[in-house]
Structure 1
Amino acid sequence: MRILYLAHDLDDAAIWRRVAMLEAGGASVSVAGFRRGSGALERPALVLGQTANGRMVARMRSVAALVPQIRARLEASGVETPDLVLARNLEMLALGRSYLRGRAAIPLIYELLDIHRLMIGQGRVARGLRKIEAWLMARCALVLVSSQGFVRHYLERYRQPARAVALVENKPLMLNGPGPATARTAPITPNCITIGWFGILRCQWTLETLDLLTRRHPGRFHIVLRGKPALDVLPKFHETVADNPDMSFEGAYRWPDDLPEIYSACDMAMLIDRYDAGANSDWLLPNRLYEGCLFGAVPISLSDTELGHSLAARGVGLRVTSPEATIDSLAAVTPEALAGLRATLAGLPRETWYADATDCADLVERLRECLPTQDAADPPQKYVA
């Protein structure tokens, strides 16, 4: 099966994780999309233009200008006619529908992995964007989501017309297994709890809370930050870290190569995100959930979120009742309590937290079911996970 993957950000490692998953499942994948960074790409791809983080309206304008040209651009670049088009995020869905105009036999699949704040609520802009999305989704054979929270709180609440929905969680792809697990239950540093905050660092509340935690309890906590700070959102990120002896920023890391090292070097993982509080932040199941749990870092979450509910169902993690209670809840974690939390997490099968070759094959087979010969015999059902 030949898949054309339309990507919103070719500099996002998650794009290439999905490509690897599709290829491991037996598909042939061509990639085209926009860039938000510079430097060499992980793999060859057709670059359609340059965009920027957080500027959805500007991105939509760039996409709108390309819509009339997309088929010609792809054909001129030698992209073969695919069996299926997979579009990641709303902007790419618009390109996918335009590319497939007059090609009704080729299914269009929508990856809905984040809900932008402009899409939420009953304001004129939100209603207008959802109307556009609904029109585009009417062409889709399937919507892929990474959390059932997106189904309940967005697709169903706003009655967006998804013919069928499949859940593909943000688990790290480990085709050869994740390697040995850590058996450590005691803090990595005696009498000090090390908390890791990794990935795209963009939540002002999280930064301020971790800073305040260490200042109220000096020496009891050490905060390790790694990844890519969103300096447009956190302009004082480096200043905050430099002024706090119990915080350290150790730069970017290689995914997935460095995951065992960085998570094994901390006791707990900060998963609370308030960047889109009441919306996307409360509905998603982030990469950090699976990565941290896989390598033994106890997750810290808010209890009344999709993430908190997921952890509660498994009986693991430190689940905080409210943002205001976060510091006191962490301060109450004794070495004995930490040992219990880590032992409980270690008791779950590690297969809970990563994707393997079977998951890849299952995903490709689910996409294959959208092809015309399958559709005729087995029409998709609404909200099938």
Structure 2
Amino acid sequence: MKIVYFVHDVHDAAVERRVRMFNAAGAITTVLGFRRRDEPLTKLHGAQVIDLGKTEDGRMAQRVSAVFANLLRPKAILEAAKGADVIIGRNVEAFALATRARVAAPQARLVYECLDIHRLLLGSSLPSKAVQAVQARLLKNADLVLTSSPAFEREYFRKRVPDVPPVFLIENKVPDLDGTAFADAVHQSASADPGPPWIIGWFGMLRCKRTFDVLADLVRQSEGRIKVVIAGRPSPAEFTDFAAMVAKVPGFTFHGAYFAADLPRLYAQCHFAWAIDFFEEGLNSSWLLPNRIYEAMAHGVVPIALSSVEVGRWLAARSAGLVLADAGPSLHQSFQAIDQQQFEQLTAGVGRVPRSDIIATKADCDALLAAMIGQEQQA
């Protein structure tokens, strides 16, 4: 089984996770993608990586230009796609290239992986309408849509997008492909020392300025009872000098970018994990189920979420997490009142969540591959 995978950022940890899942299902994968770092990749978990150039977060015009450059000179993408059984495009820009590459493998199944709904897909401006029209045209050729949250299908694809192909849900669970990585950790308490201070971890793509401000305010008012550990890659479009901002907040610690192998060490410092996002409030932020809820619970850490969004509903359905009415008074009151006994109750709630809701196994990988080649629809 040959998979050709077009991505917007080859350094994205979620791309690495998806390649691992393809490998576990027995596929041979070629990754073609842009990058947000200077250094190109040549291999990703055994998959060949073909570099399509560097792009910048938040610079849509530059990203569109990079896509057109590859569409106008398609030799590399067409050559890579020859003999493919499945061609996948992750988000609209990569899906445009995947659709073009299918010319070299007309028998291949074409899959659109949509794990975020960009604001341009929801607006009414001329640029928004143009992007929406491009996506609608591309979807006419798609055999399958992959999404990571049921709200994306329920609130976006079914309500706003005409003629949607079949949709397959593949949540951002933590891969444990041999069944041993979290055999002990998943139902244990966080290994951080008893609080206070209570340590909140904010990990992942750091693009939410309001989150920074909310956490800074919480720490400043806590009189030392709360600290925040931050790790990830700050968006230059949102933060001009993230390290300098962190340095001005006593109680904030920034570890910089990290790899998946660093997560056990990072989460071992934390009691709670920040799973609130305001970046596209009321839209994508209300619908997504981010990596961090699965990663946090896999490491025994309690996620913090809002009750009004999909993350909060997901946690409430499992009686897990610290689910709040708001990120203002409710957040402050909860942390003023929390003690070790309450924290242990929250941790126990995380431990009761079924392992299958948190961890992706080889069975999940096999189900994903089956859906992509059409067997899932036929079953």
What TM-score do the two structures reach when normalised by structure 2? 0.91
Q: Which residue of 2 aligns with 1:86?
A: 88
Equivalents in 2 of 1:212, 1:132: separation in Å? Answer: 42
Is this contact kept in 2: 1:51–1:59, CA < 8 A?
yes
- CA distances 1:105-141 after superposition (whole Å, capped 9, x unpaired): 3221000011111111333322221111011001000
Is this contact kept in 2: 1:218–1:246, CA < 8 A?
no
Give the unaligned 5+ runs of structure 1: 381-385
- CA distances 1:279-318 after superposition (whole Å, capped 9, x unpaired): 1111110000100011111110011101111011111111
Matched ranges for 1:294-333 at <5 A = 294-325=298-329, 326-333=331-338
What TM-score do the two structures reach when normalised by structure 1? 0.90
Matched ranges for 1:6-25 at <5 A = 6-25=6-25
1:172 to 171, 174, 186: 174
SS state of the match for residue 160, structure 2? Answer: coil
Equivalents in 1 of 2:16, 2:250: separation in Å? Answer: 36
SS state of the match for residue 114, structure 1? Answer: coil
Q: Which residue of 2 aligns with 1:122?
A: 124
Is this contact kept in 1: 2:276–2:306, CA < 8 A?
yes
SS state of the match for residue 29, structure 2? Answer: strand
1:53 to 31, 34, 57: 57
Sort the Cα spacing of 1:161 and 1:347 in 2 relative to 1 into closer, same or farther, 3 A: same
Q: Aligned AA for 2:237?
A: D
Q: Which residue of 1 aligns with 2:200?
A: 195
Equivalents in 2 of 1:62, 1:247: separation in Å? Answer: 37
1:163 to 162, 165, 168: 165
User: What percent of counterpart residues are identical?
Assistant: 35
Q: Aligned AA for 1:88?
A: R
Sort the Cα spacing of 1:254 and 1:99 in 2 relative to 1 into closer, same or farther, 3 A: closer
1:261 to 252, 265, 274: 265
- CA distances 1:197-226 after superposition (whole Å, capped 9, x unpaired): 111112111111111111111111111111
Residue 355 in structure 1 maps to residue 357 in structure 2:
no
Is this contact kept in 2: 1:222–1:246, CA < 8 A?
yes
Q: Which moved more, 1:24-33 or 1:329-338?
A: 329-338
Sort the Cα spacing of 1:104 and 1:269 in 2 relative to 1 into closer, same or farther, 3 A: same
Equivalents in 1 of 2:358, 2:160: separation in Å? Answer: 31
SS state of the match for residue 328, structure 2? Answer: helix
SS state of the match for residue 46, structure 1? Answer: strand
Equivalents in 2 of 1:232, 1:131: separation in Å? Answer: 26
Sort the Cα spacing of 1:185 and 1:213 in 2 relative to 1 into closer, same or farther, 3 A: same
1:336 to 331, 334, 341: 341
Q: Which residue of 2 aligns with 1:67?
A: 71
Equivalents in 2 of 1:183, 1:12: separation in Å? Answer: 28
- CA distances 1:182-210 after superposition (whole Å, capped 9, x unpaired): 74479624432111111111211111111
- CA distances 1:152-199 after superposition (whole Å, capped 9, x unpaired): 221122133221000001112111332322744796244321111111
Equivalents in 2 of 1:289, 1:354: separation in Å? Answer: 11
1:249 to 227, 234, 254: 254
Q: Which moved more, 1:296-305 or 1:103-112?
A: 103-112
Give the unaligned 5+ runs of structure 2: none
Equivalents in 1 of 2:285, 2:121: separation in Å? Answer: 14
Q: Aligned AA for 1:2?
A: K
Sort the Cα spacing of 1:40 and 1:236 in 2 relative to 1 into closer, same or farther, 3 A: closer
Q: Which has the higher contact order (CA 8 A, sep 6+)?
A: 1
Residue 216 in structure 1 maps to residue 221 in structure 2:
yes
Equivalents in 1 of 2:244, 2:194: separation in Å? Answer: 25
Q: Aligned AA for 1:34?
A: F
Q: Which moved more, 1:56-65 or 1:149-158?
A: 56-65
SS state of the match for residue 143, structure 1? Answer: strand
Equivalents in 2 of 1:367, 1:185: separation in Å? Answer: 37
Q: Which residue of 2 aligns with 1:383?
A: none
Q: Aligned AA for 1:89?
A: N
The structural deviation recorded for 1:350 is: 2.8
The structural deviation recorded for 1:233 is: 0.8
SS state of the match for residue 227, structure 2? Answer: strand
Moved over 3 A (4+): 101-104, 182-187
- CA distances 1:48-99 after superposition (whole Å, capped 9, x unpaired): 22211112232122212322432x22355x6542112111110111112222
Q: Alignment length, in residue pairs?
A: 371
